[in-house]
Amino acid sequence: MLSSDRIAELRAQLRGELITPQDERYDATRKVYNAMIDRKPAAFAQCVDVADVMAAIRFARTHNVMVAIRGGGHNAGGLGVADDALVIDLAPMRYVHVDPASRTVRVGGGCRWADVDHATHAFGLAVPSGIVGTTGVGGLTLGGGLGHLTRKCGLTIDNLLAADMVLADGSFVVASAEQNSDLFWAIRGGGGNFGVVTSFLFRAHPVHTVCAGPMLWELEDAADIMKWYREFIVTAPEEINGFFMFMTVPPGPPFPEAFHLKKMCGIAWCSTASMEETGRILAPLRAYRPPAVEMVGPMPLPVLQSLFDGLYPPGLQWYWKADFFKELTDEAIEAHIQHGSQLPTWMSTMHLYAVNGAAHRVGPHETAWSYRDANWSEVIVGIDPDPANRDLISNWARAYFDALHPFGAGGAYVNFMMDEGEDRVRATYRDNYQRLAAVKAKYDPDNFFRVNQNIRPAAADSAHAS
């Protein structure tokens, strides 16, 4: 608890609001996307500008208060909040400035991807992001960013040009290829370990209307579809992206009623090629196994980017486990079918995102994001509105993960991990970990920013090793 004097001291330094447990908005403010997370921070500094972030950091340092940084609040492990912490809440910093001449986009640190899609689409442009519009730009970008445009445009970090940051000592820096290039290397995959990003500068691409949507098949076709998909997606034209999934057909339109609540497998496509060209690319699949349900058609990119938003509103129970895969063997496919066909609730799912095409043109040491040699990022997600089903969805996800992990590449995408401990973080960064730890020691030697997938500063790290 912060004393009333301390609260008054910080409040006087902020232009944004300071929300404390005494405030009637406190309980609503402390909620994050995953309803399993129930943390009670000391206060939320709702920062409206860089000066607010500096003030909050200096206050926390002076009074030895732990900080958490919240972008969009979507982290499944709840890493945007922590008990007793001062939360640097970037929610008010939701501006997007598009420069159509240079095809660059300046994005406030608290934006959601739907904010960016809305602003860029008016100019026929897009920044590669994920697949859900309510996800925060901050966390998704700093962890890497996998989505519908990965194969054509690379990860989100491959399109990051610069970041404005406030460091652990409260100072302001720019990280880019020209300025603080070591920091720029580290934030492209290293998460919120190095400072608060108050704004991102992205390269945008001319993407307006895409040919997209799911194809679904009966579960008995799942092995054949997975085998077809594993061959196809590693060499497919980069215009096309598709992620494989096990899912239950949602009980409502636009899905045909006969399939409602039926467990199926599918591929969610997004093609930037024309309808005609996309049809030509997908013709062999349609001939091989005609989908039982097909909803592929032209749509504005922001429509695709928000297709899941209504299906997965904030406030559900989420538990997920993840791994990278270089290959998908027949044995791995058997394990997928065994567990993927047993989805414990209709919202639960498993997605295999392609990590190739343009994402493979960046080397494993060019950014902190190590797994450029993986072909898939798997995420197994137990989801349900009812807290009573918490164990059901978590146990299913863990058992599925345990069955597949022996076939994996070793690490997992940080943005698809819960709080799983240091070994998992190290496995994710492989031989980039030591360099990350050195950058951490330079910019945050006291591990001030530690509510994240934590990279320990190099000195502390060697002490730990000895």
Ligand X SMILES: Cc1cc2nc3c(=O)[nH]c(=O)nc-3n(C[C@H](O)[C@H](O)[C@H](O)COP(=O)(O)OP(=O)(O)OC[C@H]3O[C@@H](n4cnc5c(N)ncnc54)[C@H](O)[C@@H]3O)c2cc1C
Q: Give the footprint of ligand X on this chain (CB under 6 A).
A: 33, 69-76, 79-80, 90, 109, 130-132, 135-136, 138-140, 142-147, 191-192, 196-197, 312, 415, 451-452
Bridge partners of 244? 267, 352
Q: Smallest distance, Å, CB 211 to ligand X? A: 19
Give 71 or 214: the residue with its C-beta nearer to ligand X.
71
CB 11 → ligand X: shortest distance, Å? Answer: 22
Coil/strand/helix, residue 370: coil
Between 25 and 227, name the residue whose CB sits nearer to ligand X.
Answer: 25
Q: How far is the CB of 239 from ligand X (least distance, A)?
A: 19
Residue 42: name the closest of 25, 28, 30, 58 by CA. 30
Q: Based on the number of CB atoms within 10 Å of its own CB, is 354 exposed (0-12), middle (13-18) or buried (19 or more)?
A: buried
Q: How far is the CB of 456 from ligand X (least distance, A)?
A: 15
Q: How far is the CB of 187 from ligand X (least distance, A)?
A: 8
Nearest to 160 by CA among 440, 368, 354: 368
Give the separation between CA 304 and CA 401, rounded to whole angstroms: 28
* Helix residue ranges, H only, 31-149: 50-62, 113-121, 137-143
Q: Tell the smallest beta-carbon distance from residue 229 to ligand X (Å).
A: 18
Least Å distance, CB 436 to ligand X, is 15
CB nearer to ligand X: pick between 16 and 192: 192
The structure tokens listed for 315 are 């406030």
Tokens for 166, please give them. 């406030």
**Using CA atoms, how far apart are residues 306 and 74, in angstroms rounded to an integer?**
15
Instruction: Report the alpha-carbon distance of residue 173 to residue 162 in Å, rounded.
Output: 10
* Length of the chain (residues): 466
Question: Closest CB to ligand X among 192 and 408?
Answer: 192
96 CB neighbour count, 10 Å cutoff? 20
Residue with tokens 């027949």: 330
CB 79 within 8 A of CB 453: yes
Closer CB to ligand X, 135 or 348, in the complex: 135
CB-based contact 33:132 (threshold 8 Å):
no
Find the shortest distance in angstroms from Cβ 425 to ligand X: 12
State the nearest-atom distance from the C-beta of 197 to ligand X, in Å. Answer: 4
Task: Give φ, ψ of 77 to 5 degrees.
Answer: -80, 0
Residue pair 356/151 in contact by the 8 Å Cβ criterion: yes
Nearer to ligand X, 232 or 320 (CB): 320
**In this complex, which beta carbon is closest to ligand X, that of residue 23 or of residue 419?**
419
What residues does 297 pair with on adjacent strands? 212
Nearer to ligand X, 131 or 207 (CB): 131
Q: How far is the CB of 443 from ligand X (least distance, A)?
A: 12
**Phi, then psi, of 54 in degrees rounded to 5:** -60, -45
175 vs 221, beta carbon nearer ligand X:
175
Single out the residue of 312, 288, 307 nearest to residue 296, CA to CA: 307
Backbone φ and ψ of 95, nearest 5°: -95, 150
Tell me whether strands 43-46 and 86-89 are parallel, antiparallel or unpaired: parallel
Quote the least distance from Cβ 145 to ligand X, whole Å: 5
Pairing of strands 196-203, 104-108: antiparallel
By beta-carbon proximity to ligand X, the closer residue of 41 and 191 is: 191
Cβ proximity to ligand X: between 78 and 408 the closer is 78
